[in-house]
Chain A
Amino acid sequence: MTKFTRSLSGVAFAAMTLMASGQAMAQTVSWWYEALTPEQQKLLDDKLVGGFAASHPGVTLELEYRGNAVENQQRLALMSGGGPDIINSNGPATALATAKAGQLLALDDYAAKLGWDKRLIPMFLSLGKVDGVLYSIPKNYEAMGLFYNADIFAAKGWTAPKTVAEMEALADTMLAEGMTPFVAGNAGFRPANEQFFTVALNQLAGPAAIREALAGTRPWTDPVFVEAMTRFKAWYDKGYYGKDYFSTSTIDAFAGMVTGKTGMAPQGTWAFSWVKDYFDPAGANAAFTSIPVAEGVPYPLFPIGVGSALSINAKSANPDAAAQVIDYIFSGDFYGAVVPQWQGEWNVPLADLSGIAMQGEVTPLYKEATTMIADAIADGSYGYTTWTFWPPRSEQYIISGVEELWLNKATPEQFLAGLQEIFAGELAEGSVPPLP
């Protein structure tokens, strides 16, 4: 070995030692996040980044707020071999496509080692599996239920409807009193259409028939769905969704429930933050219960959705550290710190909430609702939301198709025939997310 090569080897060894010690000293886990308000960013910086740093010295979580197009940026980055360590997908359907492209790490070993398989509700873990391998875990889950103004209902002697027949009778009474029965509107957010479709389909056709259709054993053109869509269209025609549906935003309509302008809200659990924004300042009392169901459909019923799912980038340099971040999110410490501040958004699917010390006030309504939903899920009394269980082209078809159905551009039969054609293609491609 010459003097030069000896020197070179020495430099290389020193560099490797430095790199190794650097790795042992500090690891960074990157996570690209959607646009948030400054208050929300501060909350996550404090409770997530700060909370994680305090309990995990040696690992730094870097949250990067990248705007509303973060999903597209992430796709391009993954395709070119880059991207953040933690992959945040818009639910199981997106995670499925990413996993099939080989861009996600299998999480089964972490789930067993860190106890996720015991800590999380099993139904939600099953949604992240592709061919039996776990690739994603829901960051939070949402459930569609019925919100209403408890004060107005009490004053008028109304009770929350449990059956569709009761709901229609109440809606007719509301119409007669000049109220818009449902909190609804899609101005500025057309996907609101699929939320109303989801509720109507689940309450009228029932989750068993939907599951069969999603599994491909019952066509969407089946009479049970035709009947459901015919009634859904009749509700629009009668004015249950309001005469200004296309000019109103759902949030504005929700605010109208405080004053009695709108009657009841078939909405997701994200609306708990609207309760805080509109009911609390007005000193009004909101209530939450299951959606009413048709004869033969189990009650209570909460269609379940997953807004985002967490995975680890297959090319991550720090997969163990990324798993620690995910593990922290599914900890009681983080749940207790974040939920009192941001109700509805961080509804992580923990199986047991009883031992968690909440660091702040959680409204009795929210506690009652989460318990009610968790019990229903445990009993198997849950339904299916389009944005979680339908593949992307079918979902997009539904968003516009609902408008065609309501505005007499398509009959229920035509609307469902179109859905069947698109869904069958996506089912054959393997794009339908796993079913619980």
Chain B
Amino acid sequence: MWLFALPALSINVVIILIPALLTIALAFCQWDGLSMPVFVGLANFNAVFADRVFWIALGNNIKWTLIFLTVPIAIGLFAATLLLLIHRGRTLFQIVYFMPVVVATAITARVWQGMIYNPNTGVFGLLQRFGIELADPLAHTETALYGIAAVDLWHWWGFLAVIFLAALRQVPQEMVEAARLDGAGFFGLLRHILIPAIAPTIKLMMVMTVIWSFLVFDFVYILTQGGPAYSSEVLSTLAYRNAFFEFDLGRAAAVALVIALFGLTATFAYVRLQAREGAN
């Protein structure tokens, strides 16, 4: 049995376990990436927790998680249910919904930044010329995070819709038919039959959303690089700046451990939930 597991285990040890252990060790060291690391105990964590930017970034990650736990899941579920109920054009709609997911992040971000939000070259600028005052959300501290989240949501909800549709299609058709005969409307069907039937899929997606939300980096970095004035800073952009611009890799590793902590908590909660459901 061990021989059978060896290839996958070796890859995991080399690619995941060793770098993970090194990151944990690095969080307790001062290292500029050039000289030998020096053990400094909890100094990196003390510095991170004393840094007001860390708390701004953590707050933004929490806001981001709350947005992605609700908005795209609600839209995805709604769209998937509509797709379940129609037959003509279902494949076409699935392709259209899924298409933003396969477009490269850099392209999506640049299109939104230059062709939609931009007050000179984008749709917002065009609307301004017609008297509709729409400010570039990426340029203001109050809206920058939400402006980025809107781009990510546009790219993300279609993926959830397709996943939820796949789960909904496993629900026995007889149950749906019976509910309809009993007079259930669209929302009744959704609430009493479909959502309970695909609850494990929804829970899994929610756990993954928590993990992914604390790892968010690409859209933030391309669109605002955490600005203006730290208003869209998240933990991963903070760690990136610590590591590659300030050359403080120990501090970056400490921030990375905080990110991992949230992911681990979400995973642990999911495993407990699964175990409880299994026992019932």
Contacts and interface: CB of A to CB of B under 8 A. Distances in A.
Interface of A: 72, 75-76, 78-79, 97-98, 100-103, 186-188, 190, 244-248, 252, 392-393, 395-396, 400, 403-404, 406-407, 409
A76 B33 CA distance: 7
B227 A190 contact: yes
Contacts of A75: 33-34
Interface in B67-121: 113, 117-120
Contacts of B244: 72
Contacts of A190: 225-227
Given A252-B120, A409-B141, A246 B227 contact: yes
Given A252-B120, A393-B246, A407-B229, A246 B34 contact: no
Contact of B34 (A103, A248, A406): A103
A404 B230 CA distance: 8
Interface string B217-257: 00000000111111000000000010011111000000000
B153 to A, nearest CB: 21
Contacts of B119: 244, 247
Contact of B228 (A97, A244, A407): A407
Nearest to A71: B244
A46 B225 CA distance: 36
B246 A392 contact: yes
A97 B247 contact: yes
A404 B136 contact: no
B230 to A, nearest CB: 6
Contacts of A393: 246, 248
A148 to B, nearest CB: 21
Interface in B192-237: 225-230
B138 interface: yes
Contacts of A404: 229-230
A396 B228 contact: no
Contacts, number: 72
B34 A247 contact: no
Which of B32, B113, B118, B138 has the most chain A CB atoms closer than 10 A to its own CB? B32
A244 B141 contact: no
Contacts of B117: 247
Q: Which 9 A-B pairs have the closest CB atoms?
A: A246-B139, A101-B34, A403-B229, A101-B35, A247-B136, A404-B229, A403-B228, A75-B33, A393-B246
Nearest to B31: A79
A252 B35 CA distance: 41
A244 B246 CA distance: 28
Interface of B: 32-35, 53, 113, 117-120, 136, 138-141, 225-230, 241, 244-248
Given A396-B241, A396-B246, A404-B229, A78 B139 contact: no
A400 B230 contact: yes
A404 B141 CA distance: 10
Nearest to A418: B52
B35 A187 contact: no
B57 to A, nearest CB: 12
Contacts of B113: 187-188
A403 B226 CA distance: 11
A393 B225 CA distance: 16
Contacts of B138: 246-247
A303 B74 CA distance: 54
Contacts of B225: 190
Which of A102, A246, A396 has the most chain B CB atoms closer than 10 A to its own CB? A246
Contacts of A102: 35
Contacts of A76: 33
B120 A248 contact: yes
A404 B52 CA distance: 13
13 contacts: A72-B244, A76-B33, A97-B247, A98-B34, A187-B118, A190-B225, A246-B136, A392-B245, A396-B245, A400-B53, A400-B227, A403-B230, A409-B229
A247 B118 contact: yes
Contacts of A72: 33, 244
Contact of B33 (A79, A245, A248): A79
Given A97-B32, A246-B138, A403 B246 contact: no
Given A97-B32, A102-B35, 10 more contacts: A72-B33, A75-B33, A76-B33, A187-B113, A246-B228, A247-B117, A392-B246, A403-B227, A403-B228, A406-B229
Nearest to A252: B120
A247 B53 CA distance: 23
A348 B53 CA distance: 39
Contacts of A396: 241, 245-246
A183 to B, nearest CB: 14
B161 to A, nearest CB: 31
A248 B230 CA distance: 18
A188 B112 CA distance: 13
Contacts of B32: 97, 101
Contacts of A101: 32, 34-35
A395 B245 CA distance: 9
A281 B35 CA distance: 49
Contact of A78 (B34, B53, B118, B229): B34
Contacts of A252: 120
A397 to B, nearest CB: 9
